[in-house]
Amino acid sequence: MSNYDQLHRQCRTLENLFDSKLTSYNQLASSIARSKQDVEATGSSERWKDLERELEELLEKLEDANQQLSTFAREPELLSPAMLRTIQRHREIYQDNGRELRRTKTNVQNALDQANLLRGVRNDIDAYKSSAADALLSERGRIDSSHRMTDDILQQAYETRSEFGRQRTALGSINTRMMHVINTMPGINNLVSMIRSRRRRDSIILGVVIGLCSILLLSYIWH
């Protein structure tokens, strides 16, 4: 009976410890599911592995203790009905603990997978933001280059327009001088006409004088 009492107390201790560790395990699964941080960076995955290892070891010890209690159940005449019910209850608790551990392990794994998926999505978003920012910076550089080229073309256009203005002013000045020369040409023409008229008059006078002299000379000869 002393062995039975010892195994009974061992089962109770292991069951209580298992419940405590399992509660921490469930809380960790919930925190992983709610957390938006990197699971690896926060160390959640290491705590999960440690707790899972401890729970598996406790479950193995419970299995061993229950197997030893089962040897007493093979001789029911040596045990009271209350002892037999206790042995059966320990076996049921062990089975429930095994199912609960498997269920919780699945939940924790799902939480870890989800956290890793979210981390991957965030990394993809960050990478997309980075590439988008690089693309925007590159596009901004091209726009700035286009603006500089446009400014250069406009500057050249302004200089060309200024040069045309200077040439137009010079042509206007030349045109003014030409008009002034043209306006002074009628006076020159009048002077030339006066000179020609005087030459014709002198020629006529000279001809008349020569004619008179010729007539007087002929008259002298005839007499």
Q: What is the mean pLDDT of each run of 10 residues along the chain (223 residues)?
A: 83 93 85 60 66 92 91 76 88 93 85 74 66 74 80 77 77 69 59 75 83 80 72
pLDDT of amino acid 93:
93
Look-up of token digits 């960790």: 28
Q: How long a stretch of residues is the chain?
A: 223
pLDDT of amino acid 182:
52
pLDDT of amino acid 176:
74
pLDDT of amino acid 132:
64
* First vs last C-alpha separation in the chain: 209
CA distance 27 to 16: 17
DSSP one-letter code for 78: G
Look-up of token digits 């959640």: 44
Nearest CA among 121, 76, 90, 112 for reference residue 18: 90
pLDDT of amino acid 73:
75
Position 46: which residue type? E
pLDDT of amino acid 206:
83
Dihedral over alpha carbons 5, 8, 10, 12 (to 10 degrees):
-140
pLDDT of amino acid 192:
60
Tokens of 153: 């073309």
* Alpha carbon distances (Å) from 79 to 73, 74, 184: 8, 10, 153
Tokens of 85: 């019910």
